[in-house]
Amino acid sequence: MHRSQQNERAAQQQQEPVLITAFINHLEHERGLSAETIRAYRSDLHQLARESGPLETISLSAIRRWLSELHQSGLARSSLNRKTASVRAFTAWAHRRGHLDEDPSVRLRTAKRSNHLPDVLQHQHVDQLTEGLARDIQGANDEPCAQALSLRDAAMIELLYATGMRVSELAGLDLSSFETGRRMVRLLGKGNKERIVPYGLPAETALHAWLQKGRPELQRESSGNACFLGRRGGRIDVRTVRRVVDDQLSRLGSTAARGPHALRHSAATHLLEGGADLRTVQELLGHASLSTTQIYTHVTIDGLRDAYGQAHPRA
């Protein structure tokens, strides 16, 4: 764990209820969940405690009221389900350990899952995106720091789209994660499961430019073996990656796609449209179940239906 992460975690533990700290230790040491997943659990439980009071006395009605308020505020169904999962995991653990007399989440129902995916980039959007990144690099020729950041942003976006990796996986990349001769990258996914994913020539070119010209400009003693660095030289964090991708996608204007996950969804959709089979896409994305990957077939079927309607004389 990096020093900045250790300091952040120490500050959180000083402020948070003892029960949450004990549960987080359980997730980290007994279940081996990823740092990103643990941060989500911690955030959800802190929010629940702020809205509903001490978790030692949490009730089913308080949980339902909290979730109902989140639903009315417009929170996405997927986010509601994640928060429900966080609470269920916590109350089940607390009941097993004797912190709660009963598990109030046993009767808590999950919202019906939606097959809706975030907006997917069209191929012309990808071209526009990479052209914009190239202009940023060219425009920052006389400013070493600005050019380094532009080279970094281009490499991150090229890799996210080329591999479909998660934003947490990208932030966790080390210099040793790459087999540049084979254009392969080793990723550590959910549950600390490792997989090796190929990437193409455009991503290789952008990565090489970042490592040769950009990274040395930002590198500090705190950089360590991290591949992508923040402005101050430390390992880049997930929030910065999200902001960079959001900023770049918002410049396109003609798409509502936002965030690193839109690049992941776009990569999966474009692979299937190009003829890749579901099993291959499942391996590339690091999905534990094929059913998770099958959601992308809805997108490609919709595209097929549209193409049919435009092209067939009796459509």
Catalytic residues: 166, 190, 261, 264, 287, 296
Contact (CB, 8 A) for 82 and 39: no
Residue 206, C-beta contacts closer than 8 angstroms, at least 6 positions apart:
151, 154, 155, 158, 159
Contact by Cβ (8 Å): 84, 49: no
* Alpha-carbon separation of residue 263 from 15, 207, 313 (angstroms): 36, 17, 34
- Tokens representing residue 188 in the block: 């550590």
SS3 call for 197: strand
Determine the 3-state secondary structure of 140 from DSSP: coil
User: If we measure between CA atoms, which residue out of 27, 84, 28, 97 comes closest to residue 56?
Assistant: 97
Rounded Cα–Cα distance for residues 269 and 260 (Å): 14
Whole-angstrom distance, CA of residue 314 vs CA of residue 97: 65
Cα 271 versus chain centre, distance: 19
Record the tokens describing residue 90, joined without a space.
């916590």
Q: From the DSSP assignment, how many helices (H) and strands (E) are in the chain?
A: 15, 3
CB 207 within 8 A of CB 169: no
The single-letter DSSP state of residue 229 is: B
The answer to whether 222 and 234 are in contact (CB under 8 A) is yes
In angstroms, rounded to a whole number, what is the distance separating the alpha carbons of residues 146 and 158? 18
* CA of residue 188 relative to chain centroid, distance: 13
Contact 296, 268 (CB under 8 A): yes
